[in-house]
Amino acid sequence: MYPSRFRYEAPSSVAEAIALLEEGKGEAKILAGGQSLVPMLKLRFASPELLVDINNIAALDYHHFSSDGALHIGALCRHEHLEKSSDISSRQPTIAAAAPLVADPIVRTRGTFVGSVCHADPQGDWAACMVALDGRIVAQGPSGKREIPVRSFVSGPFQNVLAYNELAVEAVIPAPKGTALGGYMKLERRVGDFATAAVAVAVDVDGGRVTRAGIALTGVGGTTIDAADAAAALVGSSLDAETIARAAELAAGVAQPRSDHRGSASYKRHIINTFTSRLLSGIAESHEKAA
């Protein structure tokens, strides 16, 4: 690979990283897992003057549930860590379902959750999970930290609202209202492929009723799509077949797919319907069994 020339720095603290971003005056880029940025450097789609490699900042390498039940994912937490964590598989079903479907096993050892959300690829799987789960990004700049809900964090395809001197230090997923149920379904042509279409579903249930719901769609629009109406239709319900069918239709209705070599627009819309319905039915079934 023969990218354009760039300066390379690998600071060992967040403060140093931010200072370097300041110095870069908008011509610097963070290098996390490199699984999106390095291909862009190779193709010369990106030609930053300065690369700030954050991989030496050990303090960013974590994920844990805080006492209030919120999940905190540090900027160096790799896809693979989420995939293999027993905490995640027992407490956060949407993330647990998506983790083994992101990219391929090799990419998962390097790519980061936060990097994926920052990259804001409409086909990125984590952004959909974040939207379905009402997640937020914690950004840190010279003047301290601020929290940005994911819905306002992504400002367009491959765009986010971070200032040039800000680093996303962690992602936070709020505690569930009741039992956290959920899932992720992705149609891909082969392992390592981005989604032809995918659906993230997160449903909190208490006393047999849905207390909170989120549904988000991957790969069927210019950004991750928040199927808010579909989710709202679930709240208060017991996930009966009728409600599920209505939610699935609403979800398919807000998709904005394009026809391309992955499939026709109408097919992708159909898949959103089918997957939303399959996910919700599966959730309803497993919840019934557990109850």
Partner 1 sequence: MTLDEIKIGGMGASRRRVEDNRFIRGKGNYVDDVVLPGMLHMEILRSPVAHARIRSIDVSKAWEIPGVRLVLTGDMLATRNLAWMPTLSYDTQAVLATDKVRFQGQEVAAVIADDPYIAKDACEAIVVDYEVLPVIVNPDQARAAGAALIRDDKENQPDNKVFDWEVGDRSATDKAFAEADVVSEVELHYPRSHPSPLEPCGSIADFDRSTGKLTVYMTTQAPHIIRAAVALVAELPEHMIRIISPDLGGGFGNKVPVYPGYVVSILASILTERPVKWIEDKTGNLISTGFGRDVYLKGQMAVRKDGRILGVRMHTISDHGAFFSDAQPSKFKIGLMHSAFSCYDIPAAHLTAEGWYTNKAPGGVAYRCSFRVTEAMFFQERMVQAAADDLGMDQAEFRRINLVRDDDFPHRTPFGFLTDSGQYGKCLDVALEAIGYEQFLKDQEEARKKGRLLGVGISTMTEPLGAGNSREYDILGIKMFDSAELRVHMTGKAILRTGAKTQGQGHETTWAQIVAHELGIPADDIVVEEGDTDTAPFGMGTYASRSTPVAGAAVAMVSRKIRAKARKIAAHLLEVSEEDIEWELGRFYVRSSPDRGVSIQECAMAAYSNMPDGMEPGLENVAYYDPPNLTWPFAAYVATVEVDPETGVWDVLRMVAVDDCGVRINPMVVEGQIMGGLTEAYAMASMQFITFDAEGNCIGSNYMDYLLPTAWETPGFELHEVVTPCPHHPIGAKGIGECATVGGPAAFVNAVMNAVQHLGVRNIDMPLLPDRVHAAINTRSDISGAPPVRTDSP
Beta carbon of residue 235, minimum distance to ligand FAD (angstroms, whole number): 28
Q: Which residue do the tokens 């200032």 mark?
A: 163
Which of 150, 83, 141 has the alpha carbon at shortest distance from 110? Answer: 83
Buried b (16+ CB within 10 A) or exposed e, 195-227: bbbbbbbbbbbeeeebbbbbbbbbbbbebbbbb
- Give the contact letters, 47-86, x = binds to ligand FAD (CB under 6 A), - = no: ----------------------------x-----------
Does 273 bind ligand FAD (CB under 6 A)? Our answer is no
Nearest CB to partner 1, comparing residues 152 and 264: 264
Q: Which does 16 bind (CB under 5 to 8 A by kind): ligand FAD, partner 1, none?
A: none
Tokens, residue 75: 């900027």
- Taking the C-alpha atoms of residue 219 and residue 18, their distance in angstroms, rounded to an integer, is 32
Of these, 20, 31, 138, 199, which contacts ligand FAD (CB under 6 A)?
A: 31
- Give the contact letters, 26-45, x = binds to partner 1 (CB under 8 A), - = no: ------------------x-
H or E element, residue 206:
strand 197-206
Nearest CB to ligand FAD, comparing residues 149 and 253: 149
Q: Which does 25 bind (CB under 5 to 8 A by kind): ligand FAD, partner 1, none?
A: none
- Taking the C-alpha atoms of residue 52 and residue 244, their distance in angstroms, rounded to an integer, is 46
- Taking the C-alpha atoms of residue 153 and residue 35, their distance in angstroms, rounded to an integer, is 21
Q: Which does 167 bind (CB under 5 to 8 A by kind): ligand FAD, partner 1, none?
A: ligand FAD
Buried b (16+ CB within 10 A) or exposed e, 119-141: bbbbbbbbbbbbbbbebbbbbbb
Binding site for partner 1 (CB under 8 A): 2-5, 44, 104, 187, 189-194, 196, 221-222, 256-265, 267-268, 270-271, 274
Binding site for ligand FAD (CB under 6 A): 29-37, 39, 75, 102-103, 107, 111-112, 114-116, 118-119, 121, 124-126, 162, 167-168, 192, 194
